[in-house]
Amino acid sequence: MSRERHLDVLDGVRGLAVLIVMLSHASGREMAVLPWLNFVGIGHVGVYLFFVLSGYLLTCNLLEGQTTGAFYMRRVFRIVPLYYCVLVGVLIYQATGQYSQSYLHISDGVHGAVMHFLFLKGDSVFWTLAAEFAFYLLLPPIVMLMRRFGWKWLAAVAVLYFLVFITAEILQIDAAVVRLKYGGFKSEVQRCYDVSVAAS
Protein backbone atom coordinates (compact mmCIF):
# COMPACT_ATOMS: atom_id res chain seq x y z
CA MET A 1 0.00 0.00 0.00
CA SER A 2 1.33 3.40 -0.94
CA ARG A 3 1.67 6.04 1.70
CA GLU A 4 -1.13 8.58 1.64
CA ARG A 5 -0.37 12.11 0.52
CA HIS A 6 0.32 14.63 3.26
CA LEU A 7 0.86 18.32 2.59
CA ASP A 8 2.32 20.22 5.54
CA VAL A 9 0.93 23.49 4.24
CA LEU A 10 -2.62 22.19 4.80
CA ASP A 11 -2.04 21.44 8.48
CA GLY A 12 -2.81 25.07 9.27
CA VAL A 13 -6.15 24.77 7.48
CA ARG A 14 -6.91 21.63 9.49
CA GLY A 15 -6.06 23.51 12.68
CA LEU A 16 -8.40 26.33 11.67
CA ALA A 17 -11.19 23.83 10.98
CA VAL A 18 -10.70 22.21 14.40
CA LEU A 19 -10.74 25.63 16.09
CA ILE A 20 -13.97 26.64 14.36
CA VAL A 21 -15.74 23.43 15.42
CA MET A 22 -14.46 23.69 19.01
CA LEU A 23 -15.52 27.34 19.35
CA SER A 24 -18.95 26.57 17.94
CA HIS A 25 -19.58 23.67 20.32
CA ALA A 26 -18.18 25.59 23.29
CA SER A 27 -20.44 28.56 22.56
CA GLY A 28 -23.41 26.21 22.23
CA ARG A 29 -22.70 24.83 25.71
CA GLU A 30 -22.44 28.32 27.28
CA MET A 31 -18.64 28.07 27.45
CA ALA A 32 -17.88 31.01 25.17
CA VAL A 33 -14.36 32.42 25.27
CA LEU A 34 -15.85 35.86 25.97
CA PRO A 35 -19.48 36.71 26.77
CA TRP A 36 -19.85 38.79 23.61
CA LEU A 37 -17.97 36.33 21.39
CA ASN A 38 -20.58 33.84 20.20
CA PHE A 39 -19.65 31.20 17.62
CA VAL A 40 -22.90 29.20 17.74
CA GLY A 41 -23.87 27.89 14.33
CA ILE A 42 -20.55 28.20 12.54
CA GLY A 43 -19.27 24.70 13.31
CA HIS A 44 -20.47 23.44 9.93
CA VAL A 45 -17.91 25.73 8.27
CA GLY A 46 -15.09 23.81 9.94
CA VAL A 47 -16.67 20.52 8.87
CA TYR A 48 -16.88 21.79 5.28
CA LEU A 49 -13.17 22.62 5.40
CA PHE A 50 -12.43 19.06 6.48
CA PHE A 51 -14.60 17.68 3.69
CA VAL A 52 -12.88 19.81 1.06
CA LEU A 53 -9.40 18.86 2.31
CA SER A 54 -10.33 15.18 2.42
CA GLY A 55 -11.83 15.34 -1.06
CA TYR A 56 -8.71 16.95 -2.49
CA LEU A 57 -6.15 14.71 -0.79
CA LEU A 58 -8.02 11.44 -1.27
CA THR A 59 -8.69 12.21 -4.92
CA CYS A 60 -4.98 12.91 -5.39
CA ASN A 61 -4.16 9.53 -3.83
CA LEU A 62 -6.51 7.72 -6.19
CA LEU A 63 -5.26 9.60 -9.24
CA GLU A 64 -1.68 8.75 -8.26
CA GLY A 65 -2.40 5.03 -8.34
CA GLN A 66 -3.86 3.99 -4.99
CA THR A 67 -6.06 0.94 -5.56
CA THR A 68 -9.74 0.97 -4.69
CA GLY A 69 -9.22 -1.90 -2.24
CA ALA A 70 -6.42 -0.08 -0.42
CA PHE A 71 -8.53 3.09 -0.33
CA TYR A 72 -11.53 1.37 1.27
CA MET A 73 -9.32 -0.58 3.68
CA ARG A 74 -7.65 2.60 4.96
CA ARG A 75 -10.97 4.38 5.39
CA VAL A 76 -12.54 1.49 7.31
CA PHE A 77 -9.63 1.00 9.71
CA ARG A 78 -9.26 4.73 10.27
CA ILE A 79 -12.92 5.34 11.16
CA VAL A 80 -14.76 2.19 12.19
CA PRO A 81 -12.88 1.03 15.35
CA LEU A 82 -13.04 4.33 17.24
CA TYR A 83 -16.51 5.19 15.90
CA TYR A 84 -17.95 1.86 17.05
CA CYS A 85 -16.35 2.29 20.49
CA VAL A 86 -18.00 5.70 20.83
CA LEU A 87 -21.37 4.32 19.69
CA VAL A 88 -21.19 1.50 22.23
CA GLY A 89 -20.27 4.01 24.94
CA VAL A 90 -23.22 6.24 24.06
CA LEU A 91 -25.61 3.27 24.03
CA ILE A 92 -24.37 2.12 27.46
CA TYR A 93 -24.76 5.65 28.81
CA GLN A 94 -28.29 5.92 27.40
CA ALA A 95 -29.17 2.51 28.91
CA THR A 96 -28.71 4.11 32.35
CA GLY A 97 -31.57 6.47 31.53
CA GLN A 98 -29.42 9.42 30.54
CA TYR A 99 -30.45 11.04 27.24
CA SER A 100 -30.12 14.55 25.90
CA GLN A 101 -30.45 15.75 22.34
CA SER A 102 -28.03 18.56 23.21
CA TYR A 103 -25.16 16.07 23.46
CA LEU A 104 -24.10 12.80 21.87
CA HIS A 105 -27.17 10.63 21.48
CA ILE A 106 -28.72 7.89 19.36
CA SER A 107 -32.46 8.12 18.81
CA ASP A 108 -35.04 5.53 17.68
CA GLY A 109 -33.86 2.70 19.92
CA VAL A 110 -32.47 -0.48 18.37
CA HIS A 111 -33.38 0.59 14.85
CA GLY A 112 -31.52 3.88 15.28
CA ALA A 113 -28.49 2.08 16.70
CA VAL A 114 -28.35 -0.34 13.75
CA MET A 115 -28.65 2.56 11.31
CA HIS A 116 -25.73 4.31 13.03
CA PHE A 117 -23.56 1.18 12.92
CA LEU A 118 -24.31 0.91 9.18
CA PHE A 119 -23.52 4.62 8.63
CA LEU A 120 -27.07 5.17 7.36
CA LYS A 121 -27.99 7.71 10.03
CA GLY A 122 -26.23 10.31 12.09
CA ASP A 123 -27.81 11.96 15.13
CA SER A 124 -26.09 14.98 16.64
CA VAL A 125 -22.47 15.28 15.49
CA PHE A 126 -22.60 11.73 14.14
CA TRP A 127 -24.13 13.16 10.93
CA THR A 128 -20.61 13.98 9.74
CA LEU A 129 -19.59 10.31 9.85
CA ALA A 130 -22.61 9.23 7.80
CA ALA A 131 -21.86 11.93 5.23
CA GLU A 132 -18.16 11.07 5.21
CA PHE A 133 -18.76 7.37 4.66
CA ALA A 134 -21.18 8.06 1.81
CA PHE A 135 -18.48 10.22 0.22
CA TYR A 136 -15.88 7.48 0.65
CA LEU A 137 -18.17 4.96 -1.05
CA LEU A 138 -18.75 7.26 -4.02
CA LEU A 139 -15.28 8.71 -4.53
CA PRO A 140 -13.47 5.76 -6.21
CA PRO A 141 -16.24 5.26 -8.85
CA ILE A 142 -16.28 9.01 -9.50
CA VAL A 143 -12.50 9.11 -9.94
CA MET A 144 -12.69 6.08 -12.24
CA LEU A 145 -15.29 7.80 -14.42
CA MET A 146 -13.28 11.02 -14.36
CA ARG A 147 -10.21 9.14 -15.62
CA ARG A 148 -12.24 7.63 -18.43
CA PHE A 149 -14.35 10.58 -19.55
CA GLY A 150 -12.48 13.58 -18.14
CA TRP A 151 -13.45 16.07 -15.45
CA LYS A 152 -15.83 18.08 -17.64
CA TRP A 153 -18.63 15.52 -17.36
CA LEU A 154 -18.41 15.71 -13.57
CA ALA A 155 -18.58 19.52 -13.64
CA ALA A 156 -21.59 19.33 -15.97
CA VAL A 157 -23.44 16.92 -13.66
CA ALA A 158 -22.68 19.10 -10.61
CA VAL A 159 -23.94 22.25 -12.37
CA LEU A 160 -27.07 20.44 -13.57
CA TYR A 161 -27.84 19.16 -10.08
CA PHE A 162 -27.34 22.64 -8.61
CA LEU A 163 -29.63 24.25 -11.21
CA VAL A 164 -32.38 21.67 -10.67
CA PHE A 165 -32.17 22.11 -6.90
CA ILE A 166 -32.22 25.92 -7.03
CA THR A 167 -35.09 25.92 -9.54
CA ALA A 168 -37.10 23.61 -7.29
CA GLU A 169 -36.49 25.89 -4.30
CA ILE A 170 -37.41 29.06 -6.23
CA LEU A 171 -40.60 27.53 -7.60
CA GLN A 172 -41.44 26.04 -4.19
CA ILE A 173 -41.57 22.55 -5.70
CA ASP A 174 -41.11 19.58 -3.38
CA ALA A 175 -37.44 18.96 -4.10
CA ALA A 176 -37.21 15.67 -2.19
CA VAL A 177 -36.40 13.79 -5.38
CA VAL A 178 -33.47 16.04 -6.22
CA ARG A 179 -32.02 16.54 -2.75
CA LEU A 180 -29.11 14.30 -1.96
CA LYS A 181 -30.09 12.47 1.23
CA TYR A 182 -28.28 9.65 2.94
CA GLY A 183 -29.89 8.37 6.13
CA GLY A 184 -30.98 11.22 8.39
CA PHE A 185 -28.73 14.09 7.36
CA LYS A 186 -29.40 16.86 4.89
CA SER A 187 -27.35 17.55 1.83
CA GLU A 188 -24.65 20.14 2.25
CA VAL A 189 -26.39 22.39 -0.27
CA GLN A 190 -29.63 22.24 1.70
CA ARG A 191 -27.77 22.83 4.97
CA CYS A 192 -26.12 25.96 3.52
CA TYR A 193 -29.50 27.13 2.26
CA ASP A 194 -31.07 26.68 5.70
CA VAL A 195 -28.25 28.62 7.36
CA SER A 196 -28.57 31.50 4.89
CA VAL A 197 -32.37 31.65 5.39
CA ALA A 198 -31.97 31.62 9.18
CA ALA A 199 -29.38 34.41 9.00
CA SER A 200 -31.72 36.57 6.94
Give a three-class secondary structure readout of 136-151.
HHHHHHHHHHHHHHCH
Classify residue 51 as exposed, middle or buried by CB count within 10 Å of its CB (0-12, 13-18, 19+).
middle
Contact between 66 and 2 (Cβ < 8 Å):
yes
Q: Do 78 and 140 share a domain, yes or no?
A: yes
Q: Do 50 and 73 share a domain, yes or no?
A: no
Q: Which of 125, 149, 173 is the last residue of a domain?
A: 149
Domain count of the chain? 3
The tens digit of pLDDT for each residue in 9-59 reads: 787 888 888 898 888 888 877 776 777 778 888 888 888 888 888 888 898
Provide the angle, in degrees to the nearest 10, between the axes of the packed helices 188-199 and 43-63. Answer: 150
Single-letter residue type at 40: V
Q: Which of 66, 90, 115 is the last residue of a domain?
A: 66
Q: Do 42 and 113 share a domain, yes or no?
A: no
The tens digit of pLDDT for each residue in 112-125 reads: 999 999 999 988 88
Q: Do 78 and 33 share a domain, yes or no?
A: no
Q: Do 106 and 56 share a domain, yes or no?
A: no
Q: Which of 46, 66, 86 is the last residue of a domain?
A: 66
Q: Do 56 and 74 share a domain, yes or no?
A: no
pTM over 0.85: no
Q: For the chain, percent helix, then strand, then coil, each to nearest 5? A: 70, 0, 30
Q: pLDDT: is 153 or 30 the higher one?
A: 153
Q: Do 114 and 132 share a domain, yes or no?
A: yes
Q: Which domain holds residue 177?
A: 150-200
Q: Do 158 and 141 share a domain, yes or no?
A: no
